[in-house]
Structure 1
Amino acid sequence: MKKNLHLIAVGALSFALAQPAIAQKKVPAKTPATKTAAKPAASQTLPNDPNVKIGRLPNGLVYYIRKNVEPKNRAELYLGNKIGSLMENEDQLGLAHFTEHMAFNGTTDFPKNEIINYLQKAGVRFGADLNAYTGFNQTVYQLPIPTDSAEVFKTGFKILANWAGKVTMDGKEIDNERGVIVEEDRQRGKNAQQRMSNQLLPFLLGDSQYAKRIPIGKVEVLQNFTHDKIRNFYKDWYRPNLQSVIAVGDFDVNEVEKLIIANFSELKNPANEKARTYYSIPDNVQPLIKIAVDKEQPYNVAQVIYKQKQGPLKTEADFKLQMTQNMVNNMLAARIAEITQKGNAPFLFAQSSYAPYQGGLVWDVSALQTVAVAKSGAELKQALVAALAENERMAKFGFTAGELETVKKKMEAGIEKQFKEKDKTKSAAYVQQYLNNFLIGAAIPSAEYTYELSNKLLQQITLADVNAAAKAMVTKTNQIVVVQAPEKEKENLPTEAALLAAIKTAGNGVTAYVDNTVNKPLIAQAPKAGTIVNETKNDKVGVTTLTLSNGVKVVLKPTDFKNDQVIFTSFGKGGASLASNDDFISAENANLIAQSGVGDFNPTQLTKYLAGKSVSAGAYIDDLYQGFSGNASPKDLETAFQLIYARATNPRKDAEIFNKNISDFKVITANKGSNPSSVFADTVQAVMANYHKRGMPTTLADIDKINIDKAYAFYKDRFADASGQTFVFVGNFDVEKIKPLITTYLASLPSLNKNENFVDNGVNPPKGKVSKTVKKGLEDKVTVQLLFHDDYVYNAENNVMLDALKAALDIKITERLREKESGVYSPGVSLSVQKNPTAHYYFTISFNCAKANAEKLINAALEEVNAFKNNGVTTEDLQKFKSEELRQEELSLRENGYWLNYLTNRLKYGDDIEQVLGNTARINGVTVEATKAAAQKYLNGDNYIRLVLLPEN
């Protein structure tokens, strides 16, 4: 539940947190900008990585090329444009983003949607792989593409060149896309967050170009602009001297350079170039304060932003400063987390973190951002003061030597891990570095240089350095205070004067931090080791299976996909399904025991104990299973095993942490009714559970029944018998070397040989046709979910057929609702399947739209489903499915995460562990005729659920 609160709070704040990276002003302000900690006058510039080839064509286009074999037979191709919405004229608001859309709607060499069509046939997924985005300062196109087909690979550069200078801007296509972009605005907005953003933007952005050039633009412009406006924008700004091509992947660098020269040299800059103006942010001497309320805002949130000027990382001094700032962030976060766990914590959630300039939405702004979420408006000032007090505490007294030692251990482990994986770095990671180099001039040092410099600086950075950086973050000027709260709390909120007083007096009376550590071993006494009683090998999938003396099974798959990673999970049947209806709510929250630490270590103390180690291991209890999961560097595997053993045998019962979580959960539950999406989600949950008591959303009355003693007892009971546990380990380990850890820590787990199973408590979706409409929300925004579901025979053959139907139906729904009807932005078709407790499949068609179009679009979606039943999948769409699926399979088979999930599911469900070997044949074996029969069977509509969220009026 704590995790849920954190996500909700951060999600609610995503707008406000972004603002320091948004606001700019064309003319520098007269007041002096706040500076960060002073740097040496001269500092060595970080050298570029010699493994990347950087060049410039005569027309000004810059290119970056690097050979990288992770993943094999793949490349990441990017087109970076140093232009965005800031370049728009008053009659072009939103057209930078609109231009990005038009790049997929017809170019000289690829008419209409042929780019998407061609790439899908080559196995590139639209949206998931092929994509683009537009910001204030940049527009970026991304194209991951196979390199084992010379024709496809060469065509990738042709596509980039068409985006760069050959978009046709056909008038009919422009008009068709208007509705799609209006619907994008509806899907992403039309909610409390957007309405409060509209209140806050003029305030946060001030008299700047940013305030006038929000990338989505204005609906009235999008609906009515004449075609020449967008054609002029493209002609003026899409030019080679503002563009870069980035290519990283498994290819020959010299051949790629030839392809770039051949495809991009003919592009020309306009004769009369418009100046590319850059903008600055206004400073403020006195704090700026703004309170925004909304009927649908669920939480009381206060934020203080301390703006600063800090450029991109270019020199060793920059590197040292950012490293020091990262240390401050880590230590400050640990202090706030420690407070949050206490029963008398003054806030539901708090966060304080310095974001150094990384080339985000705005190109020269950094900020310390402090957020506090309170239970009520009346408590908001107290919550904010408590969060700000931690800023003041670190500014006045600094950090302790113990805290610095802990954070240095953490960073040293991270540096070591990153360096060990340098030859397994994904191409996409390099692309982002080179993009930042092109856009903002950020350095791109090599992995070796970064490793050596990081280790050198880690030794050099002193407590004085850290404390100076911390003090510099808490500025006395350039402060902005923002409050976002429910409208019903308006009268209870602190006034602007009270907020001003809060930031001025938050440091009154603070004292130095006292470091609270536990100097004990994780396990007081080494357990009595068990034995391995059986061992089998399956060379076809590279798996060794061990049976231990206490009944535990361990499945081992060593890999070379990562140099410094071992991941694991386990499962045993039972889970919360074994709890009675009366005790179910306490059993369901037994996971709070796992979140309370272990043994003598509360979560904060455990974090400090593990500093310097790259390891995590937690316990879980879900509806049908209980077990453990985590990861570790090979060198820290023993600690991972110790954590498993400790969580199983010595759980921590911490009433303060448990009750704090329950108290927070009550606030979340009490407030969520104001949010239309939450109300709809609760309705969906209830309908899908057919209103079964155990499947209903949690109420305040339910929370009152949660009992720590029952939760603790249930947790202990679930882990009292390890004989039913199956562990799966995947990663870089040696089977023989890991065996002693297995016998010591897993074979010694308690065993009662209960031979337990989960219970089917009858939480199933309703049969037949069901329709449920919810009326909630102020805006013209409708959410639709159409579900087709039923029991079925769960096996690999049926599952691949369901996958084929899902992929092809997704294409058809997108073509109909987005391209033809122009009524939605991103409709989706999802598929979920389960084997336990009963085998069941769910197809869900989902989209957002305007109320006036809802019924028309629902009918259109159902028409596509009926066409599927009559005709099956088209030959072309089936080809796209097979190409995309087989391409993803190639990548997945080189991922530890894929194998962990695959092996766990096969073992859970009693399937053939060699099933993966037949995947390619099964995919290729799907025929058009077979999909027609499958569509008639799985999409027959006998069990159909229609769920719709309408606005209140």
Structure 2
Amino acid sequence: MHIIKPIALAFLLPSLVQTSVAAPTNMSIEAQTVLRADTLLWDAPLPFDTEVRTGKLDNGFRYFIRKNVEPKDRVTMYLATKVGSVLETNEQVGLAHFLEHMNFNGLKHFPKNELVDYLQKAGVRFGSDLNAYTGFDQTVYQLPIPSDDPELLKNGLQVLRDWAQDALLTPEEIDKERGIVLEEMRGGRGVAQRMRDKYLPIMLNNSRYSSRLPIGTEHNIKNFPYEVLRDFHRSWYRPDLQALIIVGDIDVDAMEKEVTRLFTDLKSPANYPPRTEYQVPLLNKNQFIAVTDPEMTYTVGQITIKHPEEKVETVRDFRRDILKSVYNNMLNARLSELGQSANPPFIQAGVGIGSFLGGLDAFNANVVAKPNELEHGFKALLRELERVQEFGFTETEFQRAVSVIRKGNETAFVERDKKKSDSYVDRYLNYYLEDSPALGNEDSYALYKQLLPTLSLREVNQLNQQYYVDTNRDVIIMAPDNEKDNLPDEARMLSWLAEIEAEPLTAYEDKVSELPLLSVQPVKGSVVDSKELVSIASKELILSNGVKVVLKPTTFKNDEILISAFSPGGTSLYSDDDYFSASHAGELVNSSGIGQLNTIELQKYMTGKNVNISPYVSERAEGISGYADKEGLPIAFEMIYGYFTEPRIEDDVYQSTIAKTTSMIANRESNPNFVFSKAVLESLYQGNIRRMPISAEGVKKINQERALSIYKERFADASDFVFTIVGSFTEEEILPFIERYLASLPSLNRKEEAKDLGIYEPEKGLETVVHKGQEQKATAVLTYYGDYTYNPEENINMDALEHVLTTKLLERLREEESGVYGTAARASTSKFPKNRFSFTVSFGTAVDKYEALIHSTLDEINKVKTNGPLLSDLEKFKIEQKRQLELSLKENRFWMSHLSGAYQRGEDPARVNHYLEELNQISVESVKKVANTYLQDAKLFKFILLPDESK
């Protein structure tokens, strides 16, 4: 795959806080005697993480090796190369990315497709585990594998050694890959790409970057000579531009010896080219462009003000970087508050100071405007920037923003011994490629702890004056064609700036409530019964009001507690007339305040707390989901109690939601994917409002009073609620909260079940073809629908069928026919309201290829129906599932999903203990049987998206 980083080029802001350059040193903070704010060594270089083994071979190859046992028996290995698309000559455009592809299509020790095949047999998933990306300045390969198999570990290192320099680059494989890359390119075509092509030269100041997008050009991918690719490989895949990053459950000494043995013989070619560091020059002028497209669905205004990069090398630099984070937090909180007003001036807005590209940083501000209201939205954004310029921020805003960073620092430190290997890989990867700091856990914690008290509001206020300036400013407007006549030219845009600068402003008033969250504290209830679920180390409690609570204490995290609850019912119990109010009830309550705090007061109250509790009302259930740490548990349970007993839908929240929803859907019929999706749903459900995207008429039917009434009805009776709590607690710690806040919830002892609405797909398959879109590309979605026998045996065989067909379709449609970039089979099964299934294969391709590829897809399906899957593909599925289960069983989120799901479906949660036994029962014949039972020709629905017929 290819990426464009660090700037986002499709209507998104750049990364807001990305630091650069840290000089390596083995001195810890303590060793530097940086013990108090008044003794900080401001110009001391930032310390390098002492927990990682680093080295540099004689040939210039670097390595970073660290032992980390989260997850156990796993290791993550990355090969980083400082080679990206910016290094390409005109005849090599697109070849950095093409070469990344070729490293999966024939290596010295893994010819042709043997690499993917070998790793899949070890349980490594292609795409989600085994992957790579190419950017402007780097190409990175990733390989997470089990570390408890010495042979696999040895071969995994050999893979990275081959990636470093031993791609075979045979003519046959190069020609096969051309089609795959062209399909990747085709898939990326659309409104975002067309608009980007217009504004990118301005955004990148016509630098080399603007003509070196990693995907390349169609002409070059089709026509480059083999030797041009090989020359690029020889010139740039060399040890002085490469580093190996290995983090996991390994023996560091043994791994270092193996790395030295394998990578010492890497050679650099004679007379190799220098690695030029390309820059985006500052032009010292302002630029403006407005671009439109018929498929654009909303209007975006973006301001980018470029500045020389501020490298983060010293303690002083690190402190300044924290100041920028505080600034970003405060200004975005103000914009969020403005966006929640009764008549919001925009759909969305955001601001941030961060890194850009090519030696630059940038101040970015953007606004997503309501239809035909760009001036109103743009001025609202400018007004807030000017308000900060004139009056600055308040002390209370500052303290809240600091508290967010302080809490994040404390949480990271508490969880340091539970940190996943991937996070360490990212740390060293960014250090090597981007010169970002690579602080150790203790040093990072100490620095933040010491630096945060030294920050001042005055300094943060100065950042706005330093970064929000009127030079090196780009203004980019992106809009639908139907707004072309209303868009400003540069002179008009400058007049908006001048008008806001001249407008008299008042200082921001930070309204903070001192009231407690709840108006009345609940009366404590009790536990009346309990049952040990010994085999899954859990416990079930019955409370005095009928509430059921399932507890699973874990040690997977040091301070993470997940909470979920459900009750049967949902919107299924309400008429079509009430549907829109019912379906938005949970969202509207969740967006409002609780108890005595309105939405803005609640958001400010929650700042710096690691707590989130949200209610929902879905089609068949209502409930609560969220998380907290131990410190936040009292607030989490207060919020749960409040959402049952003191919910609200505020006028401003209701009006804001209606206004934004109306704005967001105004131009969506211009989007080919939306039109296609809508047509599919219409053909499947005959336009039933419960399955269709909400219309403008539907929005008007959302009634504020009725939505709140429905919500209160759904949460009036807790007696049929099941709460699941998973994480780092003991029963003794959690029980007081359960008794006070859950056992006291209102109880009516209603007996409710969700209603079967009878909304199902037609019995017989059909074909729907939609013509929409400018680009010459096709999307095919092939889906089987029907009744299903829901049981563990059928479910696991359906999962196996999904896996083996995905493997076969990738081999056939991608590798053999070069017709797609990606494709997959997806199985979905449901137990309620009645047993149903869907099985989908989808892909994008060329207009002249889709029919042949559909034929190939159906041919592969028929092969499985006739002969069953290959035993080798089935074994890949089994080992992958086994390896994934090993990881899942040590994740709080897995147990939350598993326990809550089991209770919701009325299943035995201990069945997870038998999964491996059930997995071993899968056979070629059992998968064949499932394929024949469900993938019937009469149940096949074909949905095709093609370009406009005039194209």
TM over 0.5: yes
Q: Which residue of 2 aligns with 1:888?
A: 884
Structure 2 portions without partners, runs of 5+:
1-6, 19-39
Change (3 A) 1:594 1:440: closer
| Contact 1:721/1:754, CA 8 A, preserved across alignment | yes
Tell me how far 1:16 sits from its aligned partner.
Answer: 5.5
Tell me how far 1:205 sits from its aligned partner.
Answer: 2.0
Aligned ranges 1:91-240 → 2 under 5 Å = 91-189=91-189, 191-240=190-239
The partner residue of 1:858 within 818, 831, 854 is: 854
| Contact 1:550/1:751, CA 8 A, preserved across alignment | yes
Tell me how far 1:763 sits from its aligned partner.
Answer: 1.4
Q: Which residue of 1 aligns with 2:558?
A: 563
Task: For 1:133, give the aligned amino acid.
Answer: Y
User: Which SS does the other structure have where 1:739 is aligned?
Assistant: helix
The partner residue of 2:527 within 532, 542, 556 is: 532
Q: Which residue of 2 aligns with 1:35?
A: none
RMSD across aligned positions (CA)? 1.7
The partner residue of 2:408 within 400, 410, 414 is: 414
CA-to-partner distance for each residue in 1:865-917, whole Å, 9 max, x for gaps? 11110111101101110111111100000000000000011000011111100
Query: Structure 1 CA distance, aligned partners of 2:407 and 2:821?
Result: 43
Task: For 2:907, give the aligned amino acid.
Answer: D
Q: Which residue of 1 aligns with 2:674?
A: 678
Aligned ranges 1:29-428 → 2 under 5 Å = 43-189=43-189, 191-356=190-355, 362-377=357-372, 379-428=373-422
CA-to-partner distance for each residue in 1:625-676, whole Å, 9 max, x for gaps? 0010110001211110000011111112211211111121112222100000
Change (3 A) 1:561 1:596: same
User: Which SS does the other structure have where 2:726 is aligned?
Assistant: strand
Query: Structure 1 CA distance, aligned partners of 2:748 and 2:829?
Result: 33
Query: Structure 2 CA distance, aligned partners of 1:468 and 1:693?
Result: 52
| Contact 1:322/1:356, CA 8 A, preserved across alignment | no
Tell me how far 1:593 sits from its aligned partner.
Answer: 2.2
Q: Which residue of 2 aligns with 1:605?
A: 601
Pairing 1:925–2:921 present: yes
The partner residue of 1:513 within 508, 511, 514 is: 508
Q: Which residue of 2 aligns with 1:637?
A: 633
Pairing 1:947–2:943 present: yes
Change (3 A) 1:81 1:15: farther
| Contact 1:363/1:440, CA 8 A, preserved across alignment | no
Q: Which residue of 2 aligns with 1:481?
A: 475
User: Which SS does the other structure have where 1:723 is aligned?
Assistant: coil
Tell me how far 1:469 sits from its aligned partner.
Answer: 2.4
Query: Structure 1 CA distance, aligned partners of 2:15 and 2:416?
Result: 34
Query: Structure 2 CA distance, aligned partners of 1:20 and 1:454?
Result: 18
Query: Structure 2 CA distance, aligned partners of 1:131 and 1:689?
Result: 38
| Contact 1:796/1:915, CA 8 A, preserved across alignment | no
Aligned ranges 1:775-924 → 2 under 5 Å = 775-924=771-920
Pairing 1:468–2:458 present: no
Worse-matched range after superposition: 696-705 or 147-156: 696-705
Query: Structure 1 CA distance, aligned partners of 2:348 and 2:84?
Result: 35
Change (3 A) 1:258 1:637: same
Aligned residue pair count? 920
Change (3 A) 1:653 1:544: same
Pairing 1:768–2:764 present: yes
TM-score, normalised by the number of residues in structure 2: 0.95
| Contact 1:396/1:471, CA 8 A, preserved across alignment | no
The partner residue of 1:724 within 720, 723, 730 is: 720
CA-to-partner distance for each residue in 1:472-516, whole Å, 9 max, x for gaps? 221221110000001111111122211122234434323221101
CA-to-partner distance for each residue in 1:590-629, whole Å, 9 max, x for gaps? 1212212213323321121123321111100000000101
CA-to-partner distance for each residue in 1:54-81, whole Å, 9 max, x for gaps? 1001110000000000000000100000
Query: Structure 2 CA distance, aligned partners of 1:865 and 1:106?
Result: 28
Tell me how far 1:366 sits from its aligned partner.
Answer: 1.9
Query: Structure 2 CA distance, aligned partners of 1:929 and 1:237?
Result: 50
| Contact 1:306/1:478, CA 8 A, preserved across alignment | yes
Task: For 1:524, give the aligned amino acid.
Answer: S
Tell me how far 1:828 sits from its aligned partner.
Answer: 1.6
User: Which SS does the other structure have where 1:489 is aligned?
Assistant: helix
Q: Which residue of 2 aligns with 1:579?
A: 574
Tell me how far 1:320 sits from its aligned partner.
Answer: 0.6
| Contact 1:20/1:307, CA 8 A, preserved across alignment | no
| Contact 1:20/1:365, CA 8 A, preserved across alignment | no
Query: Structure 1 CA distance, aligned partners of 2:413 and 2:641?
Result: 30
| Contact 1:421/1:562, CA 8 A, preserved across alignment | yes
Query: Structure 2 CA distance, aligned partners of 1:715 and 1:910?
Result: 25
The partner residue of 2:540 within 540, 545, 549 is: 545
| Contact 2:205/2:283, CA 8 A, preserved across alignment | no
Tell me how far 1:311 sits from its aligned partner.
Answer: 3.8
Q: What is the aligned-residue identity percentage?
A: 41
Pairing 1:523–2:522 present: no
Task: For 1:370, give the aligned amino acid.
Answer: A
Tell me how far 1:20 sits from its aligned partner.
Answer: 11
| Contact 1:615/1:640, CA 8 A, preserved across alignment | yes
| Contact 1:103/1:163, CA 8 A, preserved across alignment | yes
Pairing 1:430–2:424 present: yes
Query: Structure 1 CA distance, aligned partners of 2:931 and 2:475?
Result: 56
User: Which SS does the other structure have where 1:851 is aligned?
Assistant: coil
| Contact 2:519/2:595, CA 8 A, preserved across alignment | no
Worse-matched range after superposition: 51-60 or 679-688: 679-688
Query: Structure 2 CA distance, aligned partners of 1:299 and 1:695?
Result: 24
Tell me how far 1:937 sits from its aligned partner.
Answer: 1.1
Task: For 2:730, give the aligned amino acid.
Answer: D
Q: Which residue of 2 aligns with 1:34?
A: none
Task: For 2:925, give the aligned amino acid.
Answer: E
TM-score, normalised by the number of residues in structure 1: 0.95
Tell me how far 1:838 sits from its aligned partner.
Answer: 1.3
User: Which SS does the other structure have where 1:14 is aligned?
Assistant: coil
Tell me how far 1:42 sits from its aligned partner.
Answer: 6.1
CA-to-partner distance for each residue in 1:374-419, whole Å, 9 max, x for gaps? 2223x21221111122122222221111111212222222111110
Task: For 2:422, give the aligned amino acid.
Answer: A
| Contact 2:15/2:354, CA 8 A, preserved across alignment | no
Task: For 1:949, give the aligned amino acid.
Answer: L
Query: Structure 1 CA distance, aligned partners of 2:86 and 2:285?
Result: 28
CA-to-partner distance for each residue in 1:918-940, whole Å, 9 max, x for gaps? 11111122111211112111212
Query: Structure 2 CA distance, aligned partners of 1:845 and 1:530?
Result: 51
| Contact 1:327/1:466, CA 8 A, preserved across alignment | yes
| Contact 2:556/2:892, CA 8 A, preserved across alignment | yes
Tell me how far 1:15 sits from its aligned partner.
Answer: 4.8
| Contact 1:325/1:470, CA 8 A, preserved across alignment | no
Tell me how far 1:470 sits from its aligned partner.
Answer: 3.1
Task: For 2:514, give the aligned amino acid.
Answer: N
Query: Structure 1 CA distance, aligned partners of 2:348 and 2:468?
Result: 20
Structure 1 portions without partners, runs of 5+:
1-10, 23-39
Query: Structure 1 CA distance, aligned partners of 2:63 and 2:792?
Result: 45
Q: Which residue of 1 aligns with 2:488?
A: 494
Query: Structure 1 CA distance, aligned partners of 2:564 and 2:473?
Result: 46
Change (3 A) 1:556 1:725: same
Query: Structure 2 CA distance, aligned partners of 1:262 and 1:685?
Result: 58
Task: For 1:898, give the aligned amino acid.
Answer: F
Query: Structure 2 CA distance, aligned partners of 1:609 and 1:724?
Result: 31
CA-to-partner distance for each residue in 1:224-277, whole Å, 9 max, x for gaps? 111001011001100000000000000000111011111111110111110110
